[in-house]
Structure 1
């Protein structure tokens, strides 16, 4: 793991390795300061370590939470836009290659946009199951694992809301990216020695 972390540092990331979800949560909190503006990318990993609930309930930050129940689609879109111009953007990733590339697909594109440019810092929570050998393996994982599970999750949500779930098949992965850090230490990687997310 030390060699992997050194590779990630050489690529321009600020990488950290922790053993547990609890350690990931405690480390993540150190990046969240009073008065900050924070944006969110959809992430099961962020939720699983407890960070999503933490920022939702934190009163001394400005959180652009597009997942708040009861908001209109117009407000949802507005919060996504504002979220990519924040002090900190919190998200997961579909895959992280051993040579330091983040591989992702988005429906609307706010997460991949934030990874590329916008927020002053981006905090990415990465379970060990997301680490792959190459970009090709990353895209394979994205389509064979992440997209399938996310479609199942979105279909269940759509059915609950009385919507036709078939619209999710086209919307889950419209924007594909693989990137390497450009601005040194802008992207913080918290790599967890547990399986997290999809």
Structure 2
């Protein structure tokens, strides 16, 4: 998926983020420049729509435009928080925020917005969830689903995507939530049986679910979320 080109092109895909998060992003750029055409083929061959934006601002404008005048639901997402939602929607959209308004859950919006804990270059999306409202909306109910992911979520294959979800995203979320779990203490998955465990479901989208009118992967060339 990756090939070397000019420094300017590498910068455009998000290489400036190496300064802020070198440990996780360096392996990406050691593989070379992102091949958007190859990624498009990988995801669209599995029935997903695919869009790429070099910056979070460009992606946000696209999402706001796509959602204008429609009902939208969001599960918990650090990606959308870092992108400036809920403010970005203002009054243009009917929004149901599962994690902003406690207990609010809308199963059948026009568009369900979420992120993924990892994406594979072979075209899969991986998510781990505890309450499972977040993954439920990616499987059935909404008319459309949109996964919005930073470049830090991109992994070479499905195995490494699952590894990232379990040993990068889940421990960081456990630490953020202050859970009393082994991963919150040392940042590694122990496949624990703790009552506070937040890893209750591992969902791999091997393709776009049949019930959706559209299921889209939006990749952003900047690091976002966990």
TM bracket, shorter-chain basis: 0.7 to 0.9
How far 1:61 moved relative to its partner? Answer: 3.1
1:39-118 equivalences in 2 (<5 Å): 39-55=73-89, 58-68=90-100, 76-77=102-103, 79-80=104-105, 82=106, 84-118=107-141
Unaligned runs of 5+ in 2: 1-35, 185-193
Could you say what the CA RMSD is over the residues aligned between the two structures, in angstroms? 1.9
Q: Residue in 2 aligned with 1:151?
A: 174
Q: How many residues align?
A: 177
How far 1:131 moved relative to its partner? Answer: 0.9
- Structure with the greater alpha carbon radius of gyration: 2
CA distance in 2 between partners of 1:60 and 1:30 (Å): 9
Q: Residue in 2 aligned with 1:182?
A: 209
1:128-178 deviations in Å (ceiling 9; x for gaps): 1111122221121011110111011101xxxxxxxxx42786342111110
How far 1:67 moved relative to its partner? Answer: 2.8
CA distance in 2 between partners of 1:124 and 1:185 (Å): 14
Higher normalized helix content (fraction of residues):
1
Q: Is the 8 A contact 1:121 1:187 kept in 2?
A: yes
1:52-73 deviations in Å (ceiling 9; x for gaps): 3223xx33533222333xx6xx
TM-score for both structures, normalised by structure 1: 0.81
Unaligned runs of 5+ in 1: 156-164
1:8-19 equivalences in 2 (<5 Å): 8-19=43-54
Q: Is the 8 A contact 2:72 2:111 kept in 1?
A: yes
Q: Is the 8 A contact 1:28 1:51 kept in 2?
A: no
TM-score for both structures, normalised by structure 2: 0.72
Bigger RCO of structures 1 and 2 (CA < 8 A, at least 6 apart)? 1
Pairing 1:6–2:41 present: yes
1:108-135 deviations in Å (ceiling 9; x for gaps): 1112111111111112111111111222
